[in-house]
Amino acid sequence: MAAHAQHDQSLEIFVEYLMEDEEFRDSFLRNPHRTLRHAAEWGLPLSDSEMSALLATDPAVWDRIADDLDSRLQAA
């Protein structure tokens, strides 16, 4: 159970970085496999299914979500 919670938290942290850090997002979009490998080295263990889901997501989604988040933060 603790390992599952750690993976969930790792995925949340990874996605947060994708949304908030443009340089990290660009790195992921240029070379997602390398970025995922580095995330594991940083202590963000992701399961195979989580990595597969991240890789299968349309890259344009990450920019759209980040842009939407930026516009909401600016409006607040």
Query: Using an 8 Å Cβ cutoff, are 22 and 65 in contact?
Result: no
- Residue 10 CB contacts under 8 Å (≥ 6 apart), including other chains: 39, 44, 45, 46, 50
Instruction: pLDDT band for 2, please (50, 70, 90 cuts).
Output: very low
Q: What is the pLDDT of residues 10-50, one digit of tens each?
A: 999 999 888 888 899 999 999 999 999 999 998 998 999 99
Find tokens 């994708």 and name the residue: 18
Check pLDDT > 70 for residue 6.
no
- How many alpha carbons lie under 13 Å from residue 68 in its C-beta half-sphere? 6
Q: Which residue has the higher pLDDT, 40 or 69?
A: 40
Instruction: pLDDT band for 66, please (50, 70, 90 cuts).
Output: confident
